[in-house]
Structure 1
Amino acid sequence: MSILIDKNTKLIVQGITGRDGGFHTSKMKEYGTNVVGGTSPGKGGEFVDDIPVFNTVRDAVNETGANTSVIFVPAPFAKDAMMEAADAGIKLIVCITEGVPTLDVVEAHSFIKSKGASLIGPNCPGLMSPGKSLVGIMPSLVFKEGNTGVISRSGTLTYELVYNLTEKGIGQSTAVGVGGDPVVGLYYIELLEMFEKDPETDSIVLIGEIGGDAEEQAAEYIKNHVTKPVVAFIAGQQAPPGKQMGHAGAIISSGTGSAAEKIAAFEAVGVPVAKEPKEIPQLLLNRF
């Protein structure tokens, strides 16, 4: 099994006629994702890589039965795109767009939850269930079908980690890039719960970074609710306080959010923390 996406996922691409949307649509389709349509206002009736384009998400859902969307529209329009998808009945919304204003995300996320839907992102690489479905921009060649769940705040670190896992013969059930902004959709605790309940996920790798206290909350959740082996890596261990590092949410402020605090929280609940991503496969094998 996997979480969130599988062979039954019916995907639409919001912004399919744009450069990035069109490029990654072809990559997702090539991998085997069931891309049933796309949207671009005013371009309904056109086709991209033999995939029909609709003017609105509601039109796409009515015609195709889509249940998932991935968003490649520019940041000023991302809030409306996320809310349009939820209003049309899409249940999983994956926003790849970076630079979305935080207050826009707060408003969109609240609306999405009110519709009973879920959000991944924004400013994320999406997610991948190897051998089943790719929704987003992850490089499919580094993935291998298997039983380790991956949750990460960093896109490129996800790819590096997965490459190292695959090289050691450790396949993945689903890898989720949650995004590095201060406010995003599904996060560690929700995803840890999903992986804990997934019968074909036998272990979990968590990639965190400086900023906020989500990793500390995840450690407490693991202590009380997760029975499967978990290993972690925290990026930004050399970051000075008060300096933003890479992601908008990666900043140590008010005496909280440091790598040392996050590492200590994980180690206190028995989760080993790698010093470098390449150490993770062996740490994982040591847990069995």
Structure 2
Amino acid sequence: MIFTPASKVIVQGIMEPLGITCAPLMKAYGTHVVAGISPGFGGQILKGIPVFDMLEQAIPIVGTIDAAVICTPPYAALDAALEAIAAGIRQVILISQGIPPLDMVHLIRKAEATETLLVGPNSPGIIVPGQILLGIHPPDLYTPGSVGLISRSGTLTYEVAWTLTQAGLGQSIGISIGGDTIVGSSFPQWLQILEEDDRTEVIVLVGEIGGDSEEAAAHYIAEAIDKPVIAYIAGRSAPRGRRMGHAGAIIDSQIADFGPDIGTADSKVNAFNRAKIAVADRPSDIPALVNKLLKTPAQRSAG
């Protein structure tokens, strides 16, 4: 896993309301937060974390930085992320929500060109239970274990993590890829990371209605993932009658042969069923499915 207790982390926008909440939570969990960045607040200290006006002022003092957690206002997030990438930081977590779509397009292109892992925006970030917190996941809901948890939603990630924890099933990692229209990393990217992670034995993917992320994930799992996967789709009881996805997702679905109802709960559940992936009806069903797969790791046949 690329995130460890030794990872050196900075918080950009540390003196913003979100940063003031996020940074102490991370530090209290044991995350190695070496500095915070907030223009105009250089020289201050927040809960033992030194604050600098600019990232370039911090690096000569704290050394190489592994990850940046961005808590700036949305219109400042692009500049903060580009500053981090220019400084050689290759893991950038965007907690901020409402980042302008064109800013995200620009940032994703830059991240791809520099092989930077981009998480978010509108994400609680990443937690490796018992080791490191990069964001605002409630740590008490998680416990170390072997279940990799990937979600689009923040609160659903917490709910499923707590459901697993209460059932005695710890997590190897919890990730929310983000809830904004354009996000930096995808389900397939994280599925591949967890496929290669020695600590992860079972993957739980939590999706929701709208867009085509889950259909694409189901196709990718069938083609490239050997580890057992369980899916849960939120919003299955949402009323039909208005399309939750956007036009681009609908067009993509026609090209990918996902079907005309792309974005609906039925479309997503059917995609997982075709890929022979177990789908939980409700979060409380997930632990039993995980236990079943842990006992029969070869349950899913190829094809």
TM class by shorter chain equals over 0.9
1:277 corresponding residue in structure 2: 283
Identity of aligned residues (%): 41
Q: Could you report, residue by residue, the CA deviation over 1:123-155 in whole angstroms, capped at 9, with x for unpaired residues? A: 111010011100001000010001110100000
Q: Could you report, residue by residue, the CA deviation over 1:193-249 in whole angstroms, capped at 9, with x for unpaired residues? A: 11111111111000011122121111111112211111010112123343659xx99
**Distance of aligned partners of 1:61 and 1:109 in 2 relative to their CA distance in 1, 3 Å threshold:** farther
2:201 corresponding residue in structure 1: 202
Which structure exhibits the higher relative contact order, with contacts defined as CA atoms closer than 8 Å and separated by 6 or more residues?
1
1:259 corresponding residue in structure 2: 265
Deviation of the 1:259 alpha carbon = 0.9
1:89 corresponding residue in structure 2: 88
Q: Which runs of 4+ in 1 moved over 3 A?
A: 251-255
User: TM-score by structure 1 length?
Assistant: 0.93
Q: Is the partner of 1:42 in helix, strand or coil? A: coil
Structure 2 stretches lacking a partner, 5+ long: 252-259, 296-303
Pairing 1:173–2:172 present? yes
Q: 1:112-261 maps to which residues of 2 (within 5 A)?
A: 112-239=111-238, 240-242=240-242, 244=244, 255-261=261-267
Q: Which has the larger radius of gyration?
A: 2
Aligned alpha-carbon RMSD (Å): 1.9
Distance 1:189 1:272 in 2: 17
Deviation of the 1:61 alpha carbon = 2.9
Q: Residue type of the partner of 2:282?
A: E
Q: Is the partner of 2:36 in helix, strand or coil? A: strand
Residue correspondences, number: 283
Deviation of the 1:79 alpha carbon = 1.3
Q: 1:24-35 maps to which residues of 2 (within 5 A)?
A: 24-35=22-33
Deviates more, 1:50-59 or 1:171-180: 50-59
Distance 2:269 2:244 in 1: 19
Q: Residue type of the partner of 2:242?
A: G
Distance 1:156 1:97 in 2: 15
Contact 2:235/2:265 (<8 A) preserved? yes
1:105 corresponding residue in structure 2: 104
User: TM-score by structure 2 length?
Assistant: 0.89
1:21 corresponding residue in structure 2: 19
